[in-house]
Structure 1
Amino acid sequence: MNRLTYTKVGDYYLPNLVLKEQPDTPIGRYGHMRLRYLKEHRKGLYTSLLLTEKLYPHLLEIDEAANERMDILMPQLMKAAGVTEKLKAADQMKWVGLANNCKAQAEEIIQSELIYD
């Protein structure tokens, strides 16, 4: 068991706490969404993950899973909506509208499955 050491600051003794070094991988969009959700709505879980140094790996995992899910969902939704290269050549504005609709649907699915769960 590691012994806890203290430093005297004025009249107080403060513990010498050091966090483990975290990876340099940046947290993406979905990781930040999960972080905001945890801070606002799941404060106990957020505090637990933070104190056990599992918050950063958790956010990276959520971000990676969300991006993988988006890569799987988008082609499926676009195929179901009839968003093809043929449509893109014939009517670009319609193609953009349908593609944006598919992206919004995929993001709603990801948010309900991963971010707000």
Structure 2
Amino acid sequence: MEKCIYNNSNGLWYELHGDYYMPCLVIPEEEVHTIGIWGRKHQQYLREHRPIIYSNLILSGKLYSYLADIDTQARNKLDLLVIQLAEKEGINDQLKEQNQLAWIGAMNNIRNRAEEIVLNELIYGEDAV
């Protein structure tokens, strides 16, 4: 029996292991992507609540690029929301100069609300997948 054979019908190589031919499957190498907190939270959500989608992303070799993209989107949206909410509520440098504690409290409040919006829309929402 030959050590390796090629199947024209499916385009796969098979290697002889004992009495059986096993397909020579290789998961493609992924590029190195930096994944931040938002990507990790979405990864945990997929692993726990969407295991089929999570498995498909792993098997297709697209998991880390997908998570890096989600992380970038979430960070950009968070920054934009903080700026927009601060402008809408009149939180500016003048308040920062007059009363730093009030400015810090207001900005922390805005950031927490913006994080909740990002979590609900991008990380855990139905549109997140």
Q: TM-score scaled by structure 1?
A: 0.84
Question: Alpha carbons of 1:72 and 1:50: their partners in 2 closer, same or farther (altered >3 Å)?
Answer: same
Alignment match, 1:91 = 99
- Aligned residue in 1 for 2:7: none
- Once the two structures are superposed, the pairs formed by residues 45-64 of structure 1 within 5 Å of their partners are 45-64=53-72
**RMSD between aligned residues:** 2.2
Q: Which runs of 5+ in 1 are unaligned?
A: none
Higher relative contact order (CA 8 A, sep 6+): 1
Q: Who is 1:27 aligned against?
A: 35
> Would you identify which runs of 4 or more consecutive aligned residues in structure 1 move more than 6 Å?
10-14
Counterpart CA distance in 1 for 2:43 and 2:32 is: 17
Indicate whether 1:69 and 2:77 are aligned.
yes
**Aligned 8 A contact 1:32 1:59 in 2:** yes
Aligned-pair CA distance for 1:82:
2.2
Percent identity of paired positions between Structure 1 and Structure 2? 40
What is residue 3 of structure 1 aligned with on the other side? 12
Aligned residues: 116
Normalising by structure 2, report the TM-score. 0.77
Amino acid corresponding to residue 100 of structure 1 in structure 2: N
Q: Distance in 2 between matches of 1:2 and 1:11?
A: 21
Cα distance in 2 between the residues matched to 1:115 and 1:73: 16
**Aligned-partner SS, 1:94:** helix
